[in-house]
Chain A
């Protein structure tokens, strides 16, 4: 071995390593020997940190001094559903400060569920001379003033993507801060913004950027203006419309149709807020080119939806509201043989009675007709074991399966039995299943199936399910590749958690809310497992003020080498060995 390492100069090894992009592979390389560790760390350019509190900025910078691209994730996934109180954390500013001095050549920052302020954005704009990509996914804490700083200063910006972030939308002037000399825009997604941007500034911007490929507008952009924009960007690959409604005017229609048809490379359409169905035919000529269609906000009825999707024979991804109904999904199954991903969102999630005719049958049809279907998110009101078994048998290639039966604890509507066997079939047949979300009436039995079969499962979401700690024990002891587990409203308590404490160090994180884990167990876990942060989140006040066997409201456990964090709000306590540091 010694001969081997001296036979290749570092530059050669570095060159070889540059072909290895996957983080896991890079990690493996770095374990081979010390010199490979050293070479690898100096040439790693891309960092992914799935939990911003698992490590601290100085540690990252110390090990990887030449990073160009960083991706950080902050809040737990359940923050999307308002289960994580405001102020919990996920602040990116400390990272920006550290990187501003150590990574002057940083090019790309991608954040998910983090809090980023205008100060951070300004610091980014001023610190990184070659800054190119900013993606803020489900982030918050900043305003359009921060965006103005980015626009004004980042001359090499290629991508600005604000997907689903909560922006303090002061006004639309920020867009005008892109200087007239700025021409490098490739991708712009402002679909989450509420207010109108300066339309003429937008027109000039898109007109002078020849490499623009992705343009996702916000709802405030009216339909009659869309054509003017689109015809300036015939090279568009991805278009997100604004509000897709207007009084029916032939000139608007023909302009729009002409502009959209002119985009010969168009592959992806989204937006479609407030759709006036009369305008849908404007996109028909493009349908056969489309591989991705997001109609998740399109409040149009089944016939219009069906007509549209039936023409998209090359569709790979469809996001749609349940207005599509079973009949529309049948048509989808018949027309779109390349479909890989389907998401069906509820149009009226809080209504008690179903407002549309969408049942388990729609999903069964798609599973039968679409041989490449591997990713499903499906909201519906009824399900049966028979349907789930059919789906499982049809689609053993399924990798992501998320089913949300809207009413918690709904049994098989045919037999009134729990849906254990149905989900059991899913995990048994779909051997490569990576992500699973459960719903409906479920006993400990389903967890036994999951623990037995779901060996490739990496993320599991559980709600209103199970009978006892046995359920949690099956998951933790059986799912070898489990990285993220999130649980709400399940009768899981201390036993399974404490018995499988070591497992938690092999996972990224565990979230449990409205379960039965006691404060005492949390303390014990915190004391025994120094490489875990055991965070008790409780808005009722200090857990010390209640008996030890009292269940905590919410619990977030994650592995970390950074120790307990210091930016916790008053309703979060980290369970600690050193009780002096435990705040009450």
Chain B
């Protein structure tokens, strides 16, 4: 590639060094980056680390300090898989160095996820109702954002009504984008519910996404906990926090997140809203009633 690089410069009368448009001070040589196609690792190895550390400076502090912001009831009926590793989790908006989730494989994601301070639980708080099976069906490999290039409208149409005569209808098909709004935030986000396997993953992802709005209100818990979900933190999740995570279900009702098994939730959730706790007070009794009716 090097030689063809130089020849293209010569043939086209292109002398990149002489043009004004280059990085660095005039006279200095900008660091050559490896343009060769030797490997698929586009990012020089040094880059990945710096990207990650940059990330830590930005959001991780907020996350570590601000965890316990989200409250949802982790009742007996819900699946709380606290041991799930980094596998599927990665808020798709974050492109931390590795661009292809699909081809890089689980290990890479876990490594990256761990370094950015993902909650990696070692100690389950409650006995697990049922351990969530790994998404082992070959049909459910990790998806690359926005690929294949299919419009959201089509994706959501097909996701809500999986095709008949399709054996794979059981397995995770497609993705389901739902809007997430937060009271007081200037804009909302869209997330793909199918990339999360549990409430915990969802909560962590949302924290990351919206922590930039709440940095000012941070300081609830000074101690960053990076080892995992401590008992104290889980209790904080459950009780007394500023915000509550709610969702609108298929019937148009607003419910607290966390009451029903994850699968049921992800299949019926149309939209999410991070509500101020003070506003959500009226929500609980209805939720209880509705749950009773369901079961």
Contact = CB atoms under 8 A, between A and B. Distances in A.
A117 to B, nearest CB: 13
Contact of B157 (A273, A443, A469): A273
B143 interface: yes
A348 interface: yes
B51 interface: yes
B95 A514 contact: yes
Contacts of A43: none
Centre residue among B58, B141, B175 by max chain A CB count within 10 A: B58
A178 B31 CA distance: 65
Interface in B141-164: 141, 143-154, 157-158, 161, 163-164
Interface string A478-491: 00000000001101
Contact of B19 (A138, A498, A520): A498
B99 A82 contact: no
A408 B144 CA distance: 10
Contact of B150 (A345, A351, A489): A345
A477 interface: yes
Contact of B23 (A404, A501, A521): A521
A326 B154 CA distance: 22
B54 A494 contact: no
Interface stretch (B71-79, B185-193, B278-286): B185-193
Interface stretch (B36-44, B217-225, B235-243, B254-262): B36-44
A468 B23 contact: no
B35 interface: yes
A528 B19 CA distance: 12
Contact of B146 (A81, A406, A525): A81
Contact of B8 (A78, A463, A470, A541): A470
Given A86-B190, A518-B23, A528-B20, A355 B151 contact: no
Contacts of B234: none
B213 to A, nearest CB: 9
Interface string A335-351: 00000000001111111
B6 to A, nearest CB: 11
Chain A contact residues: over half helix, strand or loop, or mixed? loop
Interface in B18-49: 19-24, 30-31, 33, 35-37, 42-43, 47
A579 interface: no
B47 A80 contact: no
B128 interface: no
Contacts of A368: none
Interface in A538-575: 539-542, 545-551, 553, 569-570
A528 B23 CA distance: 12
A408 B37 contact: no
Interface string B50-66: 11001101110000000
Contacts, number: 197
B20 to A, nearest CB: 7
A370 B16 CA distance: 47
B145 A83 contact: yes
A409 B54 CA distance: 30
Interface in B116-173: 138-141, 143-154, 157-158, 161, 163-168, 172-173
B148 A347 contact: no
Interface residues of A, number: 77
Centre residue among A192, A468, A525 by max chain B CB count within 10 A: A468
A187 B93 CA distance: 38
A544 B99 CA distance: 21
A550 B148 CA distance: 27
A146 B252 CA distance: 19
Contacts of A86: 179, 187-190
A217 to B, nearest CB: 14
Interface stretch (A17-25, A47-55, A225-233, A295-303): A295-303
Interface string A192-209: 100000000000000000
B103 interface: yes
Contacts of B19: 498-499
B100 A468 contact: no
Nearest to B161: A274
Contacts of A498: 16, 19, 21-22
A164 B51 CA distance: 37
Contacts of B140: 350
A141 to B, nearest CB: 10
Centre residue among A81, A166, A437 by max chain B CB count within 10 A: A81
A159 B141 CA distance: 43
A516 interface: yes
Nearest to B23: A520
Given A491-B42, A540-B96, A296 B166 contact: no
Nearest to B155: A349
A453 interface: no
A113 B292 CA distance: 42
A82 B166 contact: no
Interface string B91-123: 011111001101100000000000000000000
A443 B37 contact: yes
A251 interface: no
B1 A494 contact: no
A351 B139 contact: yes
25 contacts: A80-B149, A81-B150, A82-B152, A86-B187, A86-B190, A273-B161, A348-B168, A349-B174, A351-B139, A351-B168, A351-B173, A355-B166, A437-B149, A467-B35, A469-B35, A470-B35, A498-B22, A499-B16, A501-B21, A516-B42, A540-B54, A540-B55, A540-B94, A541-B59, A550-B50
Interface of A: 78, 80-83, 85-87, 138, 164, 166, 192, 219, 273-274, 296-297, 299, 301, 345-353, 355, 379, 404, 406, 408-409, 437, 443, 461, 463-464, 467-470, 473, 477, 488-489, 491, 493-495, 498-499, 501, 513-514, 516, 518, 520-521, 524-525, 528, 539-542, 545-551, 553, 569-570
Which 6 pairs show the lowest CB-CB distances between chains A and B?
A541-B58, A87-B187, A81-B146, A546-B54, A467-B37, A514-B99
